[in-house]
Structure 1
Amino acid sequence: MVSLFSLSGNDFSVSDPKPDPTTETPSEEHRRQLIEGFGFSRWFLITYQAAVLGVVLIAAARHQYKKWTLSTRSRRKGEKANEQNCTRKDDFKEYPTVFESEWTSSSSGSSRTGDVSPPSSSKGKFATENDPLLTRVGNPEKRTSARATQRIRRWLKAKLMYQPPPVPILHRIMPENSTILCVLSLLALNVFYLLYHVDFSTLTSIEIIAGRCGLLFVANLPWLYLLAAKNQPLKALTGHSYENLNLLHRRQGELLCLLAVIHFAGMLFAWWRALRPFLTLYRFLTFEYILLGDCAFVAYELLSFTSLSSFREWWYEMFLASHVFLQAAGLALLFFHHFRSRPYVGTSLAIFLLDRIVWRMKIKTKTVRADLAVMEDGETVKVSADWSISSRSRTGWRFWLGGNMSHGWEPSQHVFLTVPGISKQHVLQCHPMTIASAAPEPGQDHAWFNLIIRAKGGFSRDLLNYAQGHASTEIRLDGPYGSLHALEMLHASDVSIIVAGGSGIAVAYPMIWSLLHSETRHGQRICLIWVVQDASHMKWLGTERLQELKTLGLHLITPPPSRKYGRPDVAALLCDYVHQLVEQAESASDDAKIGVVVSGPDSLNRSVRNTCSRLVKEGLDIDVAVEKFGW
């Protein structure tokens, strides 16, 4: 008998029990529909790879255009500075810091003193979420004559920038609308390939869709592994490093689990409709290649369960171990389950092995001796090391995948840290950490490396306990990783604002250092809003270093510590300083370009992103980037 649920027509024989002559067998029409449906699906799904590749190429073209725009703007700023042949005094003016002692209100940033405080007319202006945040700056005549296309473009940009609130009950953090649109586009593409040219007038369509789900599952596998890889060409093509693509990886993984459920349910329906009179469900599920598919199904569903955000948060080490074991088991079972899955399984395995073994364990790894120091708050560990830098030229494979830490790093990049000395179980563990020290300058032959790690639980708590009894240890660094999009955006802006929440200063400080030492800086206003829980956290950078940044021209804003005074009104604070800094920027009359980067807790990131969205509606030319890992 030819299996009605097979994607390729695998044969098996049924010797007992013998069929009842009075029982109807599947009609010839049913067989014909299955053969035609499976045949069309098999060839149609081949074009799926071309469709996804086309989307990637479109994203690559868009990224290259944006990169060209930013580089052109930065180059013009540099040329403008060279034409004047001098450095503006305001670029290196020291601005007073707004400390907590200068605040008269603990719940809002609207009452401040100092010569960087915004005009009083803007204070207390935004009482509700629907009120306008900022009176637009620029030429009123230009605003009134703005074209409808510009208003539509501004509205669209604001909508894509907006981040919806968390999902009720589940409390699941939602990404910004632009990412949601990408996820929905991926879903729509898969729905199209799932339903196209399917005749729903007969029940045979259920079996055809079940077969397509299996084909779509394996067709998505290589992209799933590529999106999860730390070293892959998508970064150079799209400008998004793996920590941004990881969100798409997780959503695609959830889609694959849904496809697997539909595929499994459709096979059970095929058994119930056509094969139930001939064999029991147990016999059906224990045929060799069916059993392999059952086991693969269980492996991937467990993989999805252990990838839930709550599971990752509480059992991160278990998540890492199960992720490796279950995906390896799933690939092996899928390979033997069906021969048409083998090219996709082989490609996925090759991506995994190249990423993990060749690049991460060999080429991208560096072992150094590091000093460990517990900070004054007793809950933070500072990891410090230094070494000589090798050549930083980015040619050949290094252009696409980057070098290791021996060649230095770029601002806001991060590494995966392994501390084997803690215990045997930590030998194979690696944890993402943002590099908190300034990146080596071009031509510099030595690197000074720092990590600031707050102890919360698991590895970070173990490291804190270990640092209390050990002044130094051997560490293994896998990296660096991370996109430079946010930094390039700030360099091309007239007003650059970085909002850091707590240890988010590890992202902010290298960026600020790069901006303040940029040769193209001309009339650029640079501001840091640093929200801390405790005043002692300011010592993570040190008074001397903060003073050095202020001397170079940094506007430093420090709201009251949230642990004592409650959370500050970052939205109002950001709006006020955007208003003032835009007025101060040299190109304010030409509609100043504003760049905002935020790194902190989810609530802070959403508040800053949505504030920027509302400012875009008000007519400001503003871009925002969130520096946050998506594990």
Structure 2
Amino acid sequence: MGFSPGQNAHRYGTNATYIYEYSRGLAGVDILQDILFSRIIYSSIIIVALVVFCGRVAQISHAHLRRINSLGASRKQQTFWSVESSPLWANLKKHVLYAPLGRKRHNREIQLSSAVNMGTVPSRFQATLVVLYVASQIAYCSYLDYAINEKAALFAELRGRSGMLAVLNMVPLFVLAGRNNPLIPLLHISFDTYNLLHRWLGRIVVLESVVHTAAWAVNACDEQDFAHMLERIRTTPFFIWGLLGATAMVLLSLHSPSPVRHAFYETFLHVHQLAAFAAFLGVYMHLHTDQLPQLSWITALAVIWGLERTARFARLLYLNVSLRNGATKAVVEALPGEACRVTFHLPKRVHVEPGSHVYVYLPSISLWMSHPFSVAWAEPSGIAAPTTDHSHPRSPSTLEKQPVLDLDPYLTPSPRSQITLLITARQGMTRTLYNRALHSAGGTLHTTGCLEGPYPSSMPTNHASYGTAILFSAGAGITHHMLTVRHLLHLTATERSSTRQIVLVWSVRSSDHLCWVQSFMDQILRLPSRRDVLVIKLFISKPRSSRDIVSPSSTVQMFPGRCRPGVVLDEVLQSRVGASLVSVCGPGAFADEVRGAARGWIGHGAVVDFVEEAFTW
């Protein structure tokens, strides 16, 4: 240790000398107990990760076996995979993994008013993990040697325990916040779930830091008085750095509640990153000054953080810059219904998995900031997508009668790619982008931009292993499923998929919104074997007239009113083929309805897996 408990003790009286030994350094700290608890915590985290990993391996293996056995199977021959064989697994999915905390609400936001958003409610499984971990932290902090007769020694032990736990939890806190979190592809758990755990770990770290500071302050005040404690903070580097770290953490907790985060997200993001760096710097220097045992943890954290940021920058540079083809260009088209179609022409070829998302940088709109969006479409840059006249959009009937599309351009490698996103105008960057495009010549804005990614979906099993895929979308959520449909149709046409039935459900407010994906839908409806596999159900909740609701055929159907997921599932799953996948991407209330309807079928004989794509920041 670089500090002796008796150092400078002569400056104080007898009582101060006695207490001073417990206000700095490791005197009174139960080091062996702290080491034991730190090992228990990390061992428990590793065990949970291993259990999840083994479960994912079993899921992936089962899905792969199902796909291999069903490739050449008819609808009737896939009956084996459509019937539940494990009531235990079905109950676990229904009542734990897919279950909301209460009856229905999960991703439906709790809004006290149009301006006050309280966030979402964790699922039952997420809540269980959070409660158990919070309870364990309380237990570790409370497990002290109460038999000791010295108050100062007891507070010193609490100071050491809470400080150790705060630094220990900072490591997973920073790891789970990273976009390149290695646990996402390893455990196939969504970034959204890790983000929830990140927020709760942050709250734990803040509380433990406050307890650590308060426990020190009690002994520091007992030495002489409160004024002298403040004097030590002002004049001692060890305490100055500690105060910086604690203050930054309190600031993080004050500006991170959901109402503030949602109302001023871009401001929140900048303040959050600056405060996080200040907290890290303060804690690092606090530990480094006295060479405390936890210094190695915070050093490892610095390495992890640096590697993650380096990986992001390298990924950004590699994807968007080419010596031969220049840099990425972006074309923004204003669409009816206050939405934009943003197409990025990349200088390099990139493979985009269905369900992937990217982070968008548009310097002319949002400077250096990035925002996440699902990839609506991706194709070789040499393929010209059909032009869309927004003033005279083609009807579903016209799209239904398109000739079959040649697959060769999609299967032939291309040196360049283009990625298209659909962005609805809300607040902040999305509203600015829409307004800028709307007031540009022809409603089209040409600008420079960059993409970071693509980051693939965390779905643990392959879509092609399911005989039936039911894909629910609402509003701009259709972007998550467009590539999935195209991918499944490609695999079906080349006899590499078990899928025999795809039902794409899209709910929108107005028929004007159909033009958002008209060019993409045009290509999907022209793919081989589409009429044998794909059924599209369009729900227009507020049609302008009954003439807008015309079903072109039995495979492209239009309905007035809101989508009722339970009715759709009852219709489709009665005639399901093989195992069934229910996927949803859309507003929280709509996703909760789909979740409830899917859970209603689990445990009653049907094999139903549920997947939800969400960004709950």
Same fold (TM over 0.5): yes
Selected match of 2:516 from 533, 540, 547: 540
Greater shift, 544-553 or 523-532, is seen at 544-553
Selected match of 2:68 from 42, 65, 75: 75
In 2, are the aligned partners of 1:504 and 1:599 still within 8 Å (CA)? yes
What is the one-letter code of the residue matched to 1:247?
A: L
Matched residue, 1:409: 352
Matched residue, 1:236: 185
What is the one-letter code of the residue matched to 1:162?
A: A
Cα distance in 2 for partners of 1:50, 1:237 equals 18
In 1, are the aligned partners of 2:581 and 2:608 still within 8 Å (CA)? yes
Selected match of 2:531 from 547, 551, 575: 551
What is the one-letter code of the residue matched to 1:530?
A: W
In 2, are the aligned partners of 1:495 and 1:525 still within 8 Å (CA)? yes
Matched residue, 1:620: 606
- Cα distance change of structure 1 residues 562 and 265 upon mapping to structure 2, 3 Å threshold: farther
Indicate yes or no: 2:471 matched with 1:498: yes
Matched residue, 1:384: 343
In 1, are the aligned partners of 2:16 and 2:224 still within 8 Å (CA)? no
- Cα distance change of structure 1 residues 349 and 51 upon mapping to structure 2, 3 Å threshold: same
Could you give the per-residue CA deviations for residues 153-188 of structure 1, whole angstroms, max 9, x where no partner exists?
433321211213377978441122122222234324
In 2, are the aligned partners of 1:499 and 1:528 still within 8 Å (CA)? yes
Cα offset, 1:465, TM superposition: 2.5
In 2, are the aligned partners of 1:533 and 1:562 still within 8 Å (CA)? yes
TM-score (norm 2): 0.77
Within 5 Å, give how 1:314-333 maps onto structure 2. Answer: 314-333=263-282
Could you give the per-residue CA deviations for residues 271-326 of structure 1, whole angstroms, max 9, x where no partner exists?
34x42469733234433312221121111121233333322322222122222211
Matched residue, 2:566: 575
Could you give the per-residue CA deviations for residues 426-473 of structure 1, whole angstroms, max 9, x where no partner exists?
331111111100467665325332111111111112212322326311
- Cα distance change of structure 1 residues 36 and 282 upon mapping to structure 2, 3 Å threshold: closer
Cα offset, 1:569, TM superposition: 5.8
Cα distance in 1 for partners of 2:331, 2:57 equals 41
Matched residue, 1:478: 452
In 2, are the aligned partners of 1:370 and 1:384 still within 8 Å (CA)? yes
Could you give the per-residue CA deviations for residues 347-366 of structure 1, whole angstroms, max 9, x where no partner exists?
22222222223433555642
- Cα distance change of structure 1 residues 387 and 618 upon mapping to structure 2, 3 Å threshold: same
Cα offset, 1:563, TM superposition: 8.5
Matched residue, 1:125: none
Indicate yes or no: 2:438 matched with 1:452: no
- Cα distance change of structure 1 residues 523 and 455 upon mapping to structure 2, 3 Å threshold: closer
Within 5 Å, give how 1:246-261 maps onto structure 2. Answer: 246-261=195-210
Matched residue, 2:370: 430
Could you give the per-residue CA deviations for residues 567-617 of structure 1, whole angstroms, max 9, x where no partner exists?
9664xx323332332332344xxxxx2211111111112222222223224
Which consecutive residues of structure 2, in runs of 5 or more, have no partner in the other structure?
321-326, 381-409, 546-558
Selected match of 1:342 from 292, 295, 298: 295
- Cα distance change of structure 1 residues 369 and 28 upon mapping to structure 2, 3 Å threshold: closer
TM-score (norm 1): 0.75
Matched residue, 2:550: none
Could you give the per-residue CA deviations for residues 249-268 of structure 1, whole angstroms, max 9, x where no partner exists?
12211111121122122222
SS at match of 2:583: strand
Cα distance in 2 for partners of 1:59, 1:205 equals 39
Cα offset, 1:205, TM superposition: 4.0
- Cα distance change of structure 1 residues 9 and 216 upon mapping to structure 2, 3 Å threshold: farther
Cα distance in 1 for partners of 2:162, 2:543 equals 51
Cα distance in 1 for partners of 2:215, 2:445 equals 60
Cα offset, 1:53, TM superposition: 2.7
Root mean square deviation of aligned Cα: 3.7
Matched residue, 1:282: 230
- Cα distance change of structure 1 residues 278 and 259 upon mapping to structure 2, 3 Å threshold: closer
Matched residue, 1:420: 363
Indicate yes or no: 2:16 matched with 1:56: no
Indicate yes or no: 2:307 matched with 1:354: yes
Matched residue, 1:130: none
Could you give the per-residue CA deviations for residues 493-517 of structure 1, whole angstroms, max 9, x where no partner exists?
2221111110001101111111222
Matched residue, 2:35: 43
Matched residue, 1:461: 431
Which consecutive residues of structure 1, in runs of 5 or more, have no partner in the other structure?
1-5, 89-136, 390-405, 588-592
